[in-house]
């Protein structure tokens, strides 16, 4: 029986994959609402995510326990994402 999910992992492009991982990470941090306001910072985060060598670890961590802070030890965007999180939560 063919895979009926058009967004299965096997069919995702690399760009879609890192965007999905980043979108999921941002949602876990409560940043999904501020993505449109992050502008240049978000573009820099997306560029780092695209060239990251830890996408597989990120995907596993998000699936296993998205609230586990282990991702902060390897993610090249952890400082930027945490700064966005701090700035966002200080304004609400």
pLDDT in tens, 60-78: 999 999 999 999 999 999 9
> Domain of 62?
12-29+39-91
Of 61, 51, 62, 52, nearest to 23 (Cα)?
Answer: 62
- Number of Cβ within 10 Å of residue 71's Cβ equals 22
Domain presence at residue 73 = yes
Any residues with CB less than 8 A from the CB of 78 and at least 6 apart, and which? Answer: 71, 72
Q: Count the domains in the chain.
A: 1
Domain presence at residue 3 = no
Q: How far does Cα 23 stand from its chain's mean position?
A: 5
> 22-64, pLDDT tens digit by residue?
999 999 988 877 766 767 888 899 899 989 999 999 999 999 9
pTM: 0.74
1-24 as b/e: b if 16+ CB within 10 A: eeeeeeeeeeeeeeeebbeebbeb
Give the model's pLDDT for residue 14. Answer: 57
């Amino acid at each position: 029986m063919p895979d009926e999910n058009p967004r299965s992992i096997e069919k995702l492009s690399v760009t879609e994959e890192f965007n999905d991982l980043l979108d999921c990470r941002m949602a876990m941090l409560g940043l999904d609402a501020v993505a449109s306001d992050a502008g240049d910072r978000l573009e820099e985060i997306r560029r780092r995510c695209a060239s990251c060598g830890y996408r597989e670890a990120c995907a596993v961590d998000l699936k296993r326990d998205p609230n586990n802070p282990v991702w902060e030890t390897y993610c090249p965007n952890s400082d930027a994402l945490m700064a966005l999180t701090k700035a966002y939560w200080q304004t609400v």
